[in-house]
Structure 1
Amino acid sequence: MEQSWRQAKSIFVTMLSAPLFWLVVFFMVPMAVVWLFSFGENRGVVDIAITGTWSNYAHALTPLYLGILWKSIWIAALTTFLCLVIAFPVAMAITFASEKYKAWLLLLIMLPFWTNLLIRTYALIAVLRHEGYVNSLLGMGWSGASHLVAAMGGHPLGDFQPLDLLYNNFAVIIGLVFVNLPFMVLPLYSTLDRMDRSLLEASMDLGGGHLRTVWNIMVPLAMPGIASGILITFIPALGSYLTPDMLGGPDSQMIANIIEGQFKGANNWPFGAALSFVLVYMTFIGIAIQGVIESRSKRERLA
């Protein structure tokens, strides 16, 4: 038995070595280099001296960049909230669907992952632009209503003015919800699918009603999935670059767009690295909060 365990450990180490090597060389080392850059100063076009200065972080905490960071947090929080509101009924529908349709519903949720984000963003532009599907449908409805009013003897409503649905904060939030919604649905479904359904039946038998059962029974049971969904939705939304870059206007830039500008446009890699690691530190805080919530939830279930 001891010999077989040693052999199993050697097989495990052998299988782990390749992905561990990849993780260290292509993730941890580059991240460490960028972290060192955040304590450096520009000495030339491509020359960065690691001096240990905190000036880059001090610059990142000035009112201008704190305002952009706060705006990014607000947009990411609103995106996460909308994803939660939309995803919870979807996850419930998948949970209570028959086994015949459950796999197909999950496939529809995961299908966007099989399409490049750039293509999905261009598709959303086709939907939201002035000549897009939304304004076309609204224009057809407006035209029909105008003809109806004229037929009833009233004055025509005039020409339809397309709505400005692109290149503003509205478009950015719609795009972020569109991109990140599956990240909220999947952990919610995973949690709801494992819950004890006898508790729901007991609540209904005691006259709780559907809404009260959902709020008082399902939501508390789904809290681990809600916490996980919030975390893995909020963090990508906060660090999103492509969606605000393509769907937003000059006043819709988020912190990731500012970081990109520091690396590419301003050629200020130390300051861009400091801004990047401000987001990394916030990510660590979010993961720590999620860990506390999960630990408290486990203690309450065991109590």
Structure 2
Amino acid sequence: MTAATGTEAAGAPRRTARPDLVGLGALVLATLILMLIGVRAVTGTAAVVALLVLLGSIVGLVVVAVAGAPDTRRQLAPYGLLKPGVLWLALFFVAPLLTLLKTSLSTLPSRFAVEAEFDWNFGNYSDAFSEFGDQFRRGFGYAALATVFCILIGYPLAYVIAFRGGRWRNLLLGLVVIPFFTSFLIRTIAWRSILADNGPIMGVLEGLRLDGVFEAVGLIDNGRILNTMWSVVGGLTYNFVPFMVLPIYVSLEKINVNLVDAAKDLYSNSVWAFVKVVLPLSLPGVFAGTLLTFIPAAGDFINAEYLGGPNTTMIGNSIQDQFLVQSNLPVAAAMSFVLMLIITIGVLVYTKFLGTEDLT
């Protein structure tokens, strides 16, 4: 009996001491190697050696999992599942971000230089604020207005689809999503044709003799709606309103209508039932939709390029110009970091007030 037991124990998979630390160590090692390669801290032969070490860590982790006991494989499984996503983010997000940070602290030796010299030049950040303050203000202002308009348009639309859509619900959702089948650029150029001086909107306003009224309230400038602030905000609203509708619809669709009926049974009218029941339960969707709308709209440059004019340029246009036209990579990188920093702080403050506990 004892010999059989010893033989069985000898053939059993070996238990690995602290497999969770082995998995974590392999994940951290692989991540650091990819980041070093991504920022070009190691090149040539050193990069080849680093890749071999990376492959060795992955193969070693697989061998440990296969040869180990079931408990070992169970503890290693989360790190194996995390590794593809973490390595992808390390190579294609963190490494470019660190490269951009290094560029933002560099200096161009001359106007025609190709490579910037890293010298901890924080003056690029002060230049970003002093020279492009108006573009920052326009970018965030236009994005905020577009976000508000998206809520005003998207919430009622999502409400109707969720509670009144019935058998047409899928069709209505399809109509909301169908603009995504067309290029963002093509949709914006189409709006340029619609808002042109001889386009349908101006034709309707002039035919109804409303162009004077719209100019009096500031929606039209010198008989034109194109190349104004409102044409840019309108383009942003149109392009990003589906990003507001879909998350709000998901939140509304999960609400049990019996809760609304219960509120009415407690002598609440439809308005107060909406305010006290539906609106609070749909706030996670409004939160998600706001982020999905405001963040890309703040950095957008397509709408301002095709629907706006020289006085409506946003920060995205200036960053594009500094990168691709002026070739001033350090200042462009600093502007990008300032934009990301302001958006991050704004999101954290917004999250603090609204909360994300129910954001699922």
How would you bin the TM-score normalised by the shorter chain?
Answer: 0.7 to 0.9
**For residue 122 of structure 2, what is the aligned residue in structure 1?**
54
Deviation at 1:79?
0.8
Given residue 75 of structure 1, which amino acid in structure 2 is its aligned partner?
Answer: Y
Distance 1:5 1:189 in 2: 43
* 2:308 pairs with one of 239, 248, 256: 248
Q: Does 1:257 align with 2:325?
A: no
Query: Which secondary structure state, in structure 2, belongs to the residue aligned with residue 80 of structure 1?
Result: helix
**Is contact 2:323–2:329 with CA below 8 Å preserved after alignment?**
yes
**For residue 282 of structure 2, what is the aligned residue in structure 1?**
222
Structure 1 residues 134, 103: CA separation in 2 closer, same or farther (over 3 Å shift)?
Answer: same
1:139-288 correspondence runs (5 A): 139-141=206-208, 163-288=223-348
TM-score, normalised with respect to structure 2: 0.70
RCO higher in structure (CA 8 A, sep ≥6): 1
* 1:34 pairs with one of 100, 103, 110: 100
Structure 1 runs of 4+ off > 6 angstroms?
A: 8-12
TM-score, normalised with respect to structure 1: 0.82
The 10-residue stretch of structure 1 (4-13 or 80-89) with the greater mean CA deviation from structure 2:
4-13
Distance 1:37 1:3 in 2: 48
Structure 1 residues 297, 208: CA separation in 2 closer, same or farther (over 3 Å shift)?
Answer: farther
Structure 1 residues 218, 132: CA separation in 2 closer, same or farther (over 3 Å shift)?
Answer: same
Identity %: 30
Deviation at 1:23?
3.1
Given residue 97 of structure 2, which amino acid in structure 1 is its aligned partner?
Answer: M
Gaps of 5+ in 2: 1-67, 210-221
* 1:84 pairs with one of 131, 145, 151: 151
- Number of residues of Structure 1 aligned to a counterpart in Structure 2: 277
Query: Which secondary structure state, in structure 2, belongs to the residue aligned with residue 222 of structure 1?
Result: helix
Gaps of 5+ in 1: 143-161, 299-303
Structure 1 residues 72, 295: CA separation in 2 closer, same or farther (over 3 Å shift)?
Answer: closer
Deviation at 1:240?
0.6
The one-character-per-residue Cα deviations of 1:203-247 (angstroms, maximum 9, x if unpaired) are: 223343222322332222222221221112111111011110111
Given residue 39 of structure 1, which amino acid in structure 2 is its aligned partner?
Answer: L
**Is contact 1:57–1:271 with CA below 8 Å preserved after alignment?**
yes
Structure 1 residues 93, 37: CA separation in 2 closer, same or farther (over 3 Å shift)?
Answer: same
The 10-residue stretch of structure 1 (274-283 or 211-220) with the greater mean CA deviation from structure 2:
211-220
Deviation at 1:8?
6.8
Q: Determine which structure has more spread, i.e. the larger CA radius of gyration.
A: 2
Distance 2:237 2:136 in 1: 19
Given residue 278 of structure 2, which amino acid in structure 1 is its aligned partner?
Answer: M
Query: Which secondary structure state, in structure 1, belongs to the residue aligned with residue 197 of structure 2?
Result: coil
